[in-house]
Amino acid sequence: MGIGSKVRRLALLAGMAACAFGLSAAQAAEKHKIFLSMSYIGNDWQAEAANMVKAMAAHKSLADKVDLQVQVAGPNAQRQIQQINAMVQSGAEAIVVYPISPTALNQVVKNACDKGVKVFAYDAEITEPCAYNVHIDQLEAGRVTAEWLVKKLNGKGNIIAITGVPGTSVDDQRTKAAKEVFAKYPDIKIVGEAVGMWSQAVARTELSKILATRNWDDINGLWMQVGCFTANSMQLEAGKKTSELLPCAGEGSNGGRIQMLPEGTAVEGAAPPYAPAGAQRISYASPPYSGALALKLA
């Protein structure tokens, strides 16, 4: 996790401050006005992260301290800029944001900081130094998963790459790091690539398009920011045996991790394609609680 471009320590002791400055009980109890600014929301992870932010705001530890308002800009940097400007003008004390771009929001974020608003980005980054960033090492995520896949394929084979939401620091860094690994192995060929938007449904659509011009037998492995669960399911639907499932480097979805369990493992309620299949996988995830953590830090 990185928090801004430099280490900062926050200590918001509202009760002590109220006593020190002689504020009334009503003033001390006034809620902090905080906004959640979301960009692209068309996948499970974004919904989970937003739900966790809302749940954190409703938790007894924050419910009497935080007035949380949520706005969605979609994958449109200009709209997110406009919304953040409006948040500042309406009296925001802090903004928790999933930025659609690491750089496009810099000026509006700087303006917010200059007015005393704390800005916390989660999962994806903002490069403006006054912003705080809560995220995993996305370059490492791309590198480690690509290296695992290369090792599984003994340094040669045809692979499919399914990326994430274009323009975000998350997608840029993961894809850049993975391709740097693949470039070291001339016998590793990316024979199909598509934008997956971190969505199982989109991954299925894009894989179906790729498979319209080739079949599973032409492919040796998959590198997917999200979609290994879907890829395994599609292979099983196509009649592949569990022992024939292609190695896939990808996300930490629950269904995919169940597929990774040894075949025959007892899992209550599990049935194909959710059943344990001994799938060859490396599985990682950006934690969906990063937004809730950003709210807590704010």
Strand partners, 162: 194, 224
Residue 7 lies in a domain: no
One domain for residues 106 and 156: no
Domain region containing 120: 14-136+287-297
Within-domain flag for 74 = yes
Question: What is the value of pTM for the model shown?
Answer: 0.87
Considering the domain architecture, whether residues 117 and 155 belong to the same structural domain is answered as: no
Residues 250, 156 share a domain: yes
Is the pLDDT assigned to residue 122 strictly greater than 70?
A: yes
Which pLDDT score, from 0 to 100, does residue 231 have? Answer: 97
Under 8 Å between Cβ of 267 and 276: yes
The answer on pLDDT for 60 being more than 50 is: yes
Average pLDDT estimate for 172-178 = 98
Q: Which of 233, 236, 277, 226 is nearest to 46 (CA)?
A: 226
DSSP-derived secondary structure for 181-236: HHTT-TTEEEEEEEE-TT-HHHHHHHHHHHTTSS-GGG--EEEESS-HHHHHHHHH
Rounded to whole angstroms, how far apart are CA atoms 189 and 239?
Answer: 25
Residue type, 197: M
Whether 237 and 204 have beta carbons less than 8 Å apart is answered as no
Identify the band that residue 25 occupies on the pLDDT scale cut at 50, 70 and 90: very low
Question: With 60 as the cut, is the pLDDT of residue 234 above it?
Answer: yes
Whether 176 and 237 map to the same domain: the answer is yes
Q: Is the pLDDT of residue 19 over 90?
A: no
Domain count, the chain: 2
CATH of the domain at 211: 3.40.50.2300
d(CA 257, CA 172): 25
> For the residues of 172-194, what is the DSSP string, one character each?
HHHHHHHHHHHTT-TTEEEEEEE
Specify the amino acid at residue 108.
Answer: V
The pLDDT of residue 274: 84
**Is residue 228 included in any domain, yes or no?**
yes
DSSP string, 110-150: HHHHHTT-EEEEESS---STTSEEE---HHHHHHHHHHHHH
What does the pLDDT average to over 106-123? 98
Q: What is the pLDDT of residue 41?
A: 93
Dihedral, CA of residue 90, residue 123, residue 221 and residue 184, to nearest 10: 120
Averaged pLDDT, 68-95 = 97
Q: What value does the mean pLDDT take over residues 32-53?
A: 96
Mean pLDDT, all residues of the chain: 91
Q: Quote the pLDDT of residue 4.
A: 41
* Confidence (pLDDT) at 29: 55
* Strand-pair partners of 97: 37, 121
| Helix (DSSP H) and strand (DSSP E) numbers for the chain | 11, 10
CA 148 to chain centre: 21
Same domain, 89 and 146: no
* Domain match, 142 and 254 both: yes
Q: How far is CA 123 from CA 61, 133, 231, in A?
A: 23, 8, 25
The Cα diameter of the chain in Å comes to 74
Q: What pLDDT score was predicted for residue 132?
A: 98
- Assigned domain for 4 exists: no
Share of the chain above pLDDT 90, in %: 88
